[in-house]
Amino acid sequence: MPKLSLPNPACTPACTLADTPAFSSALVLAACLVAGTAQAEIQSKPIRYEDEGVPLTGHLYWDDAIEGNRPGILVIHEWWGLNDYAKQRARMLAELGYIAFAADMYGKDQVTDQPAQAQEWMQEVTVDPELWRQRANAGLAQLKAAADVDADQMAAIGYCFGGGTVLQMAYGGADLAGIVSFHGSFPAAPEESIGKIKPEILILHGQADSFVAPEVVSNFQDKLEEAGANWEMDIYGGARHGFTNPNAGDYGLENLQHDPQADARSWQRMQSFFDEIFSD
């Protein structure tokens, strides 16, 4: 999984020594070296918690070079479980300056690469929407309790099963500024959510995702409108399910395929979305 490489703002073109007088070159170089030693250092730690007696372990990520409170982002994994991919996305959010928590929706360190097993675990969580939301909100509570998190500036993102999960959080009135679903499932907004959806909603969807029928997409959009949600859906032509995951093609399912362009564009769209919702 490629990591974002954030530029060092101190080492701009002004740090190029070709046109710098010799007596000041050493000063400029020293400034760049000092800035380099102050580069972001991403820290992480496991956090153990539980829901309905199920032991869960999430992972918190933050940049220890940043001081003071900052927005917190909850990350919900794909149906495979809390694997390295979900953790890497949380790390990438920390590199952007957020505090991120990769939540555990299955517990007991359950991770698989077998679709049948993944489906079984997912269905155990999703069979009851209230318990589904409760499990996700247990992770959100861990993030809110973390040091330096601005509890008034919170968002959640999810992939695949995780995308459906953050939508369920929105339907349940979770106190979030926004949610982002990447190639997620599309649970329709229930009638009881009408007028109660607080977060702004961004859906990032692959047009060629055969897991989601066109009529499901249409119904999903209609129900968001009926609920009065503030929502947007970006659709990437030709992109299949799992388009953000470089390892999507390793699971043996034809509909799973990484799409580098859709991956990059969706990540940039998420960043713009966060800039908007956290600007107030």
Q: What is the mean pLDDT of each run of 10 residues along the chain (280 residues)?
A: 34 34 37 44 97 97 96 98 98 98 97 98 97 98 97 97 98 97 98 97 98 97 98 98 97 97 98 94
Name the maximum alpha-carbon separation found in the chain.
71
Tell me the two tokens of residue 226. 């009926």
pLDDT score of 33: 37
pLDDT score of 39: 58
3-state secondary structure of 192: helix
113 and 148 part of one domain? yes
Range of the domain at 24: 7-39
pLDDT score of 3: 35
108 and 137 part of one domain? yes
Give one word for 108, left, alpha or beta, with left for phi > 0 and alpha for psi -120 to 50: left
168 and 252 part of one domain? yes
Q: What is the DSSP letter of 191?
A: G
CA 194 to chain centre: 25
Pairing between strand 99-102 and 54-63? antiparallel
132 and 46 part of one domain? yes
27 and 126 part of one domain? no
Q: How many CB atoms lie within 10 A of CB 155?
A: 25
21 and 66 part of one domain? no
Identify any residues that bridge with 74 across adjacent strands, giving them in sequence order: 101, 156
Q: How far are the Cα atoms of 22, 34, 93, 102, 212 from residue 89, in angstroms, in the given order? A: 43, 28, 6, 8, 24
88 and 223 part of one domain? yes
46 and 85 part of one domain? yes
Give one word for 228, left, alpha or beta, with left for phi > 0 and alpha for psi -120 to 50: left
Q: What is the pTM of this model?
A: 0.86
Contacts 24+ apart (CB under 8 A), 187-193: 187/129, 187/220, 188/219, 188/220, 188/223, 189/220, 189/223, 189/224, 189/226, 189/227, 189/229, 190/129, 190/223, 193/227
Q: How many domains does the chain have?
A: 2
Residue 2 falls within a domain, yes or no?
no
35 and 149 part of one domain? no
> What backbone torsions phi and psi does residue 160 show, to the nearest 5 degrees?
55, -120
Dihedral of the CA atoms 56, 51, 223, 78 (nearest 10)?
10
pLDDT score of 280: 65
List the Cα angle 258/260/266 in 5-degree steps. 100
pLDDT score of 40: 60
60 and 26 part of one domain? no
159 and 58 part of one domain? yes
Which residues, at least 6 apart from 273, have a Cβ–Cβ distance to it below 8 Å? 178, 180, 200, 202
d(CA 89, CA 156): 12
Pairing between strand 231-236 and 200-206? parallel
11 and 141 part of one domain? no
